[in-house]
Amino acid sequence: MTFSPGIREKMYRLYLEFFEVAESKRRWNIFRDIPWDKLDISKNNERKAVCVETFCAEELYLPDYSSGGIGLTRSMFGAAWFQACWSYEESKHGLVFREYLTRSGMRSEVEFAKFEATIFGQRWSLPFTTGRQMACYGALQEAATYLAYKAQKDLAIIEGDQVLEAIFMYVSRDEATHAAAPAPPTSRGALLS
């Protein structure tokens, strides 16, 4: 797909603004920002384990999401780099959920490896074929995921699970930001609003 220099520049500027805010205000570190020392295994239960494992499963499809997204956006720097940035942020979500499950002892490394093999044994395919369709789908998906993660953060507060509260605070914030991110240009050359 061919885009005018003006559209390419506008998309680059939108991405640069997104990236600058992410770097200066929103980036978090799985090793420094999660209070792992407050992990309380007395709060473990199977309902919580299955819930976190379910969210982890969704995040583990990242290679499929990313490869499909890059395929749709690779012809425009700003859009493709947004996809790469989004992939990085989503990769932390899968990693932090995995760490929570294994550090809490709710899943062993062996159990998680089996779970991971099951997930990677299936491939997720893009539900739509155009950048515009996927931008709309992605915005809805990210907004829905934000609401689910926020509800889990609120539940963690009620349950007094400070580690899970921090995890869901960071991942829900990422999802809310992704839902509001700039959309890629359409084939007509105009930016989606």
Contact (Cβ atoms closer than 8 angstroms) between residue 76 and residue 59: no
Q: How far is CA 21 from CA 74, 142, 177, 179, in A?
A: 23, 18, 10, 15
Spell out the residues 6+ positions from residue 36 whose beta carbon is closer than 8 angstroms to its own: 99, 103, 163
Average pLDDT score over the chain: 88
All domains of the chain in start order, with CATH: 5-179 (1.10.620.20)
Ramachandran sector of residue 107 (left: φ over 0; alpha: ψ -120 to 50; beta: rest): beta
Paired tokens of 146: 């934000």
Residue type, 85: C
Dihedral of CA atoms 74, 75, 76, 80 in degrees, nearest 10, equals: 0
Encode pLDDT of 134-170 as tens digits.
878 878 888 889 899 999 999 999 999 999 999 999 9
Q: What residues form DSSP beta bridges with 191?
A: 185
85 phi and psi, to 5 degrees? -65, -45
Nearest C-alpha neighbor of 100 from the set 150, 170, 147: 170
Q: How many CA atoms lie within 13 A of 192 on its CB side?
A: 17
* % of the chain at pLDDT higher than 70: 93
Residue type, 22: A
CA distance 61 to 88: 13
Could you tell me the pTM of the whole model? 0.87
Encode pLDDT of 44-102 as tens digits.
999 999 999 999 999 998 888 888 888 888 888 888 898 899 889 999 999 999 999 99
